[in-house]
Structure 1
């Protein structure tokens, strides 16, 4: 899978870059390379939260959803930035990337008043992991993002 994404505002630390390509990493389900179309050395690895963190269910504000044209949770794909390190890989649960899967409009949103970690440790599949806890959002299904109404 390959998709063109346009951020409504540059991701933090990547200003002025807004146009990216999201490419699936072969042999690694739910792992993607997000790279700038204008700055070849600008690349992030991101995980599909629905594949790797199915319990992760942040609440996206109405304003955040509106900025992407997301009116229904089924329109949204939720990605988290992966940070590999010698001690293990962590993901940023406080600032997910929300993608309108129909248009490619994207934003890295800052979650306020939600109890998520900046550096949530990933565990190998099958290993016991601490849940990514937050307020319950029963309408959330896998990588679907609840949009406040």
Structure 2
């Protein structure tokens, strides 16, 4: 799936053109691959895989920016920080990536909800 970030991602504003790719052997994980810089890619996962009751408020501005007309239009992903120690692999639940499934328009939303952490452990224990 092709994805376009009109404003880029925070810290990567100069890159707008991405593609979501499957990761072999990691069904719930995907790769958000930059088409403008081959070595730039982010591992992503649905936050609902981590927190079943995950909730975010999408502002009117984001709804307009992404041309969202219904909740079914939106895919939600969170970025994953990898580590050689699986217990230290984390997911950023504070700043989800929202994607309009029809247009491919995307934006990273920085939420104010302190319930969600920037470095939430994926594997407990």
Residue aligning to 1:54? 52
Q: Residue 24 in 1 paired to residue 22 in 2? A: yes
Instruction: Provide TM-score, normalisation by structure 1.
Output: 0.76
For 1:50 and 1:70, the matched residues in 2 are separated by: 20
Residue 92 of structure 1 aligns with which residue? 92
Deviates more, 1:40-49 or 1:74-83: 40-49
Q: Shift in Å at residue 65 of structure 1?
A: 1.6
8 Å CA contact 1:58, 1:114 repeated in 2 = no
In structure 2, the residue matched to 1:118 is 118
1:44-93 deviation line (CA, Å, top 9, x unaligned):
00002233432211111121121101121110000000001235211111
Deviation at 1:34, TM superposition (A): 0.7
Tell me if the contact between 1:8 and 1:68 (Cα under 8 Å) persists in the aligned partners: no
**Structure 2 CA distance for aligned equivalents of residues 47 and 27 of structure 1:** 14
Alpha-carbon separation, structure 2, partners of 1:71 and 1:9: 20
Cα distance in 1 between the residues matched to 2:115 and 2:82? 22
RMSD: 1.7
Contact 1:30 / 1:52 at 8 angstroms: preserved in 2?
A: no
Relative CO higher for 1 or 2, CA cutoff 8 Å, sep ≥ 6?
1
Counterpart residue number, 1:102? 102
Q: In the alignment, what sits opposite 1:142?
A: none
List structure 1 segments (4+ residues) > 3 angstroms apart after TM superposition: 50-53
Contact 2:95/2:108 (<8 A) preserved: yes
What are structure 2's unaligned runs of at least 5 residues?
none
Gaps of 5+ in 1: 128-149
Instruction: Tell me by how many angstroms 1:8 deviates.
Output: 2.0
Q: Secondary structure of 1:60's match?
A: coil
